[in-house]
Amino acid sequence: MEGRPISGGAADERRGADRRVAHRGRTGPWALLLGAALVLVTACSGADSSDGGKDGGGAKRPPAPKAVVTISPKDGADSVDTTGDLRVSASGGKLTGVTVEDAKGHPVEGTVADDGRSWRPEGHLASATTYTVRASAKNAEGARTTGKSTFKTLRPKNTFVGIFTPEDGSEVGVGMPFSLHFTRGITHPEDVARSIRITTEPSVPVKGHWFGNDRLDFRPEHYWKPGTKVTAALDLDGVEGRPGVYGTQAKSVTFTIGRAQVSTVDAEKHMMTVERDGKVVRKVPITAGGTGHTTYNGQMVISEKYRVTRMNGETVGFGGEYDIKDVPHAMRLSTSGTFIHGNYWSGGAFGNYNASHGCVGLRDVKGAWDKKQPAAWFYDHSLIGDVVIVKNSPDKQIQPDNGLNGWNMSWADWTK
């Protein structure tokens, strides 16, 4: 029996059992891993469907980028143009504040665009002036960013000024415009006009009108009301009036309108009627321009007063026809030489006939010493800015730019 191989029956059963045991030993751990993997996949699939795509692990999103503030000119810039170079902008956010000041703390007004991404000054900068810009912006999450720049504007080589009338602090008549004569021809009239601001008390609309390229006058539609206070603010420093030519004035001029005096000269009747505040105060015999030298018609404003002055015909195109060295009580009505003045040499012309070279003459004495003379009375009771109206002369109407006589232009034409 010994040494015989076991066969059939029990031996086969033992070998089958051994094979089954060995099979279970090889595959049992893999089955556990596979089960765990199935559980994990099931769990992950459940998280995706229930969180709607959110991070299952709770990771934080990165912060939004900060807003970037850009200021032009850059810090330390020199010889900056007074117009157009100053700009502030923000990217990745919106501006929350912009301040611009000169070294004395005077602010430069400006406006932030509706989208909050840019700022521009409302006007020009002054020349040869140091400015500091401070700006801030916030991004979408409220994080704040700031910027700063200090720069200096150019010092112009070529400049202009406006010679103005009336003088600061003066009392003038109801016809007085605020008139500026510029020392250089202006080719940027809008920029210059925008830099002159007229305010009045009580308030009344005032408009400017250019005569040529070197004169700008301001007036209301009708004569000023007595008592009106007029202020002209000249913000011309740094304004480029023509290429490479800049204004230098930063000045305020205030004048007051006195009583309303309007005098009407009837050249045909040789008589002047003086009205003050709507009432006739005196009628004065006159002599107007004679044949060949007639007086302009129209509304004229007294622009200058001289107790005694010289009048030479050569200065107004009359050659050597006259040269009177001591004309008394003279008041200018036009640039071309029309005056209303005292006359001691025309004898019986006053109230009777016209004998002058275009001026309006009133009886007077040589030396202007007699206060009782009509010319002396009119001189003493007149203001620069009073209106003298000439009518019924055979001459044409005076041009609006010949003297301070823009009242001879309609309001529609004045405001074009």
Distances (CA, A) of 274 to 98, 215, 235, 343: 58, 31, 39, 18
- 124, 329, 341, 357: which one is catalytic? 341
- Which of 124, 270, 357, 359 is labelled catalytic? 359
The 3-state secondary structure of the chain, one letter per residue: CCCCCCCCHHHHHHHHHHHHHHHHHHHHHHHHHHHHHHHHHHHHHHHHHHHCCCCCCCCCCCCCCCCEEEEECCCCCCCECCCCCCEEEEECCEEEEEEEEECCCCECCEEECCCCCEEEECCCCCCCCEEEEEEEEECCCCCEEEEEEEEEECCCCEEECEEEECCCCCEECCCCCEEEEECCCCCCHHHHHHCEEEEEECCCCCEEEEECCCEEEEECCCCCCCCCEEEEEEECCCCEEECCEEECCEEEEEEEECCCEEEEEECCCCEEEEEECCEEEEEEECECECCCCCCCEEEEECCEEEEEEEEEHHHHCCCCCCEEEEEEEEEECCCCCCEEEEECCCHHHCCCCCCECCCEEEECCCCCCCCCCHHHHHHHCCCCCCEEEEECCCCCECCCCCCCCHHHCCHHHHCC
- Please indicate whether residue 359 is annotated as part of the active site: yes
Residue of 191, 190, 166, 170 lying closest to 180 (CA atoms): 166
Measuring CA to CA, which residue among 233, 229, 224 is closest to residue 253?
A: 233
Where in the sequence numbering do the catalytic residues fall? 341, 359
